[in-house]
A = this chain, B = another copy of it.
Amino acid sequence: MTTPARRPAADQALPDPDARCEVRCLHPQEVAQARAEQPGPADIEAASTLLKVIADPTRLKLLSALRTGELCVCDLSAVIGLSESAVSHQLRLLREQRIVTVRRQGRVAYYRLLDAHVTTLIGGVLDHLRGPVPA
């Protein structure tokens, strides 16, 4: 959405110096628009939390391993080469974010992916890494 007024416009976009709402800015109009369309702080925080959980290398390995199907904790530990304790800690975060779910059978806990969004999301990241920039 390239706005028509793309030029600097700093000379005439600042009618009076006293109009500085909070801090100085060169394009008050576009700043006001950007502020209006900004998501709420709660949404930002929630999105950040979810993305941080997915962003960790260990948890990325866990999610990638679970693409093939459900696995138990000690299997996951063997796949990614980390202690069962560490895996259990990370799986808890993935459960809290509703990314994986658990099915308990006896003393074994089978984990599987809960959300297809995450899979496509990681796919999009890999697209970004490999291919050139689309737009």
Contact = CB atoms under 8 A, between A and B. Distances in A.
A69 B1 contact: yes
Contacts of A1: 68-69
A129 B46 contact: yes
B124 A124 contact: yes
Interface of A: 1-3, 6, 8, 10, 22-27, 30-31, 33-35, 37-39, 43-48, 50-52, 54-57, 60-61, 64-72, 74-75, 77-81, 98, 105-106, 108, 114-118, 120-122, 124-129, 133-135
A72 B27 contact: yes
Q: How many copies does the complex hold?
A: 2
A72 B129 contact: no
A93 B124 CA distance: 19
A65 B38 contact: yes
A52 B55 contact: yes
Contacts of A3: 68-69
